[in-house]
Structure 1
């Protein structure tokens, strides 16, 4: 069955996009005229309140509520500190990034070595099992008799693996990524694009790439309203009570993380006795690469910055009220919570992500696991003329692309950043200076790939927008964009509406007869896996394993379709055999 991207832009009030593989909906997104996406937008904003108890600031950027800006997400260029202190901070960050780079490379090497030894061990176990099954029963009985006679007098050289495995405690805390910060402080906000004296201090998770000597000049955003501070005090008081409504939820923004729980915990006190590499397993447990079956999220390509508190500074000492900053939305407004913001900017293209104020040189997305692709892409990045003080990350969509295609996308991002800088200099806070793009453009950029055979668009204006954007982004694939002209609605014709309606039900039936139950609460999302009428297998262990594997795939799909995130708790069916877990 062909894979298609369906875009329903018939009504200007709402646009819907789905990706269908065969007859199954794999991706879904929508955008209404009343509620457009804020994530990825860049705003020229103003600090309304600095909260020492949270070590965060509340920002007025133009949204429905004040945004939440954590101290760890504030670029050092905005710190109002002496030059000597700033240089010491930059040098400390540089050392931390080098250590994180070396440790990341070492962990990758150990992980590859462990995977190879695991494959060899599995092959050896299969061969040994075949030999044992084909052995002569009479000969085995004779051997057992001889062994019993000798065993009474033989010394015990046994080794308690279960106890030995626990001699190596896990310590993952020392292997977190360090936050990527550098810069020079200004009394007001700055758009750091490449000061020669402070923007060579960051490295990517992959090998660093030497940036070019050309520096893009920094842009200082002067606060033209410093003379009317008294008038702003009244506006601040009006918003004070609104900030307190979602202040109690502020800590949640930094602590949401996926979590998977098995119902069977009988093996949690036993280490993997096959390798004996407990300390390495602990280090790399979070580094295992999971194959992505859906569209890539742009901000997921950018490596996370682990929070490292700067002991010598507090937010109230370096950030002041009415200070102007350039911020980007990283998490949408939800309920009483305001949008989560960052000053570490990123501009996404089709094949690359440009980080204009993170001096990393260049690197490769961790989702690209092929050693050949990574080696080739590193050479491509080295040939790019990355301005000093900037960084670039190649996305998974660029893994199989040629050097001219990646270079063209990189030059497009540089021009986009220049436009953002020019717009910022002409604007007054709070205002929008860069919009991520419409749903149609984001879908073509992030979801479209070579596996999609055609893009069907319902609606004249939507078709023109999709065709023009595809012509600019991927001219060779513009013929894949086709207009849908049938009288029957597009989603009804393709059997999509019924699948979208099923998203509102908490119960999802699996093909094997089992089912999962999804319940969303304020604190977390709980998912229960049940075997139901699944009776294909002849053994209860096999039934549990097959149902869990099918449920894991369906859970990933449902999380994408329902746009669920945060703390995810999954209760799989109990399994007795450790290798199945």
Structure 2
């Protein structure tokens, strides 16, 4: 089946990009004009606050919130220390980079499949398979799987339990303390170690450094200091963007790191030793300036030296433009904006197996064509403008699949289904067999459904941009080999993901945990908002519960000494109160001398209510019970007419000499309220009195 890159730029407010294999949606990304991506942008920023407790700084770069800059992400060039100390620190960093490059080069020349820090897949840190230890049941409770020595304050392998103890350097002239003999490492101890899968070359360029042991951030970074920073993580909720001073510029075949001395880098996803050696020779021939680094991306694996050189020179020109604009700017200012969605899609999503690129929209087509001519001139003919009267996404049956991405339920071809729910702490994915009953026994049904779900989970993570901690509840399987098969299927399906993913193993309870790097806000975060009715919970209070809540509020008002109450509630709650709780209302009126009026308001949703307290015009005892509970609403114009009539009658009686004073023993009625006189009012919702 043909693979196509489809770009919908028909509306200037939103641009959408998908990759389809046949009619199956494989990749999806979109960008709205009101919320553009910040990740990858470079800013001239100013430090607003240095926080010693976090060993980080807050930086004003011109965004909605101040950015977060960790100490490990600050280049030593920005340290306000003597020149000799800075040079010594830079030489130390350069030695570390050279040592790492030497290890990678030795691994390539030794015939390995990739760098020494990767496994046989090039992007997976392999751990030998071992049976999952079953939790021990002790005294009716499940005992924790505590490693040997952990109870004595040591972690596995006899390492100190405290990270501070592990990293504390010894004093000068002191001999290291004798360490306990290392015990043999059991495979069962390694079974819980997560494997790293996927990842993009642009992420390899961003390597967070550890904190400098020589200095603390408050000693070397000062308030109002100007820095050149790049956004590595988008703003989300109340959190500002994450920043770094280690810059990177991504091209089609290369990633340039202007201030990171990492020479001759090759993507971890390129696993063939001959290709890695050839690409390193190409990088060496480019004569990358000192202090800069270069990484060849997966797309450049089969490219010629001329292609890689052209991409590298384009990135150098881009960096020169950034430097010139930086010298002319005043912080905070934007000095480099990451490419638009169309350019990023052609740069990152377009592959050699893509047969056609269709663009809907004249401006989008012109932009895509020019970008393709600049990056890959020989492929420019594949970019075609779509002008059919049927919308592009409808033609290839993509629109319906995008609509399904907003639903928590995902149907599987075998008849099973998954339910995806996002919470504040994690994303929960529940796998169910549903109508999948074609296999001979329950074990085969569970295994088949789980294998299909593992592949679909990897797809949904990409499409919905789900990130953070993700827990998958697979159908329980009795045989360990089936668990291992599902794990292998999931890891294989995740290898093509551009985000870095750490995958655990299926536990004794059928749960698999994984952590996915957040590349951008999820689909639901960017395309939905909180429901004003339920407040985002998906639930509203039942009629019975809301009615009882209103009764308790009325009782509380009676205790406080209120006399006349007008209670506005949702219609269904009003009906329930007047039909099912009439006797309870009468009892409250009798106990506290209240006059309660229940009014329906269709704009309210349980348990919302509105209470208005009024001064009593007549004694409580003079009103019948039924009228006190269900007085009809009176309009303001009718109230004004009644007051005017009463005034005229009073004036006539006064002229005739009649007394207006009531007989002895009869209470004197209060003066009626003027139409413009304010009433005391109180609103409540969800338990507020």
Tell me the secondary structure at the aligned position of residue 337 of structure 1: coil
1:393 to 1:171, Cα distance in 2 relative to 1, 3 A = farther
Q: CA–CA distance in 1 between the matches of 2:56 and 2:454?
A: 37
Q: Which moved more, 1:22-31 or 1:535-544?
A: 535-544
Q: What is the aligned partner in structure 2 of residue 24 from structure 1?
A: 24
Q: Do the aligned residues in 2 keep the contact of 1:50 with 1:319 (CA within 8 Å)?
A: yes
Tell me the secondary structure at the aligned position of residue 561 of structure 1: helix
Q: Which one has a bigger Cα radius of gyration? A: 2
Q: CA–CA distance in 2 between the matches of 1:567 and 1:528?
A: 14
Q: What is the aligned partner in structure 2 of residue 14 from structure 1?
A: 14
Q: CA–CA distance in 2 between the matches of 1:88 and 1:453?
A: 53
Residue 442 (structure 2) pairs with residue 535 (structure 1): no
Deviations for 1:24-76, whole angstroms, at most 9, x for unmatched residues? 11111111111111100101111111111211111111111111111111111
Q: CA–CA distance in 1 between the matches of 2:336 and 2:274?
A: 36
Q: What is the aligned partner in structure 2 of residue 74 from structure 1?
A: 74
Q: Do the aligned residues in 1 keep the contact of 2:97 with 2:262 (CA within 8 Å)?
A: no
Q: Do the aligned residues in 2 keep the contact of 1:352 with 1:394 (CA within 8 Å)?
A: yes
Match of 2:212 among 301, 304, 310: 310
Residue 325 (structure 2) pairs with residue 423 (structure 1): yes
Q: CA–CA distance in 2 between the matches of 1:541 and 1:85?
A: 65
Q: What is the aligned partner in structure 1 of residue 410 from structure 2?
A: 508
Q: How does 1:291-306 map to 2 (within 5 A)?
A: 297=200, 299-302=202-205, 304-305=207-208
Q: Do the aligned residues in 2 keep the contact of 1:514 with 1:531 (CA within 8 Å)?
A: yes
1:169 to 1:543, Cα distance in 2 relative to 1, 3 A = farther
Q: CA–CA distance in 1 between the matches of 2:441 and 2:304?
A: 50
Q: Do the aligned residues in 2 keep the contact of 1:548 with 1:573 (CA within 8 Å)?
A: yes
Residue 77 (structure 2) pairs with residue 40 (structure 1): no
Deviation at 1:516, TM superposition (A): 1.6
Q: What is the aligned partner in structure 1 of residue 268 from structure 2?
A: 366
Deviation at 1:366, TM superposition (A): 1.0
Deviation at 1:280, TM superposition (A): 12
1:47 to 1:568, Cα distance in 2 relative to 1, 3 A = same
Tell me the secondary structure at the aligned position of residue 64 of structure 1: coil
Q: How does 1:123-272 map to 2 (within 5 A)?
A: none
Q: What is the aligned partner in structure 1 of residue 175 from structure 2?
A: none
Q: What is the aligned partner in structure 2 of residue 518 from structure 1?
A: 420
Deviations for 1:510-558, whole angstroms, at most 9, x for unmatched residues? 1122222211122221222222222343343333333222222211111
Tell me the secondary structure at the aligned position of residue 280 of structure 2: helix
Q: What is the aligned partner in structure 2 of residue 382 from structure 1?
A: 284
Match of 1:460 among 357, 362, 365: 362
Deviation at 1:449, TM superposition (A): 0.7
In the alignment, structure 2 segments of 5+ residues that lack a partner are 130-146, 150-154, 164-183, 485-689
Q: Which moved more, 1:377-386 or 1:421-430?
A: 377-386
1:93 to 1:298, Cα distance in 2 relative to 1, 3 A = closer
Deviation at 1:500, TM superposition (A): 0.5
Deviation at 1:90, TM superposition (A): 3.2
Deviation at 1:397, TM superposition (A): 1.0
Residue 372 (structure 2) pairs with residue 470 (structure 1): yes
Q: How does 1:273-284 map to 2 (within 5 A)?
A: 278=186, 282=190
Residue 550 (structure 2) pairs with residue 550 (structure 1): no
Q: CA–CA distance in 2 between the matches of 1:491 and 1:18?
A: 9
Deviations for 1:328-367, whole angstroms, at most 9, x for unmatched residues? 0111111111111111000000011000000111211112
Deviations for 1:462-506, whole angstroms, at most 9, x for unmatched residues? 101101110111111111101111112211222111111111111
Residue 367 (structure 2) pairs with residue 489 (structure 1): no
Q: CA–CA distance in 2 between the matches of 1:328 and 1:40?
A: 6
Q: Do the aligned residues in 2 keep the contact of 1:297 with 1:446 (CA within 8 Å)?
A: no
Q: How does 1:77-116 map to 2 (within 5 A)?
A: 77-97=77-97, 105=107, 108=116, 112=120
Tell me the secondary structure at the aligned position of residue 322 of structure 2: helix
Q: Do the aligned residues in 1 keep the contact of 2:419 with 2:430 (CA within 8 Å)?
A: yes
Q: Do the aligned residues in 2 keep the contact of 1:61 with 1:431 (CA within 8 Å)?
A: yes
Q: What is the aligned partner in structure 2 of residue 346 from structure 1?
A: 248
1:333 to 1:303, Cα distance in 2 relative to 1, 3 A = closer
Match of 2:297 among 376, 395, 398: 395
In the alignment of these two chains, the number of paired residues is 429
RMSD between aligned residues: 3.3
1:418 to 1:37, Cα distance in 2 relative to 1, 3 A = same
Q: Do the aligned residues in 2 keep the contact of 1:516 with 1:529 (CA within 8 Å)?
A: yes
Deviation at 1:86, TM superposition (A): 2.4
Deviation beyond 4 Å, 4+ runs, structure 1: 94-107, 109-113, 165-173, 276-288
Tell me the secondary structure at the aligned position of residue 567 of structure 1: strand
Q: Do the aligned residues in 2 keep the contact of 1:67 with 1:339 (CA within 8 Å)?
A: yes
Q: Do the aligned residues in 1 keep the contact of 2:201 with 2:267 (CA within 8 Å)?
A: no
Q: What is the aligned partner in structure 2 of residue 434 from structure 1?
A: 336
Q: What is the aligned partner in structure 1 of residue 470 from structure 2?
A: 568
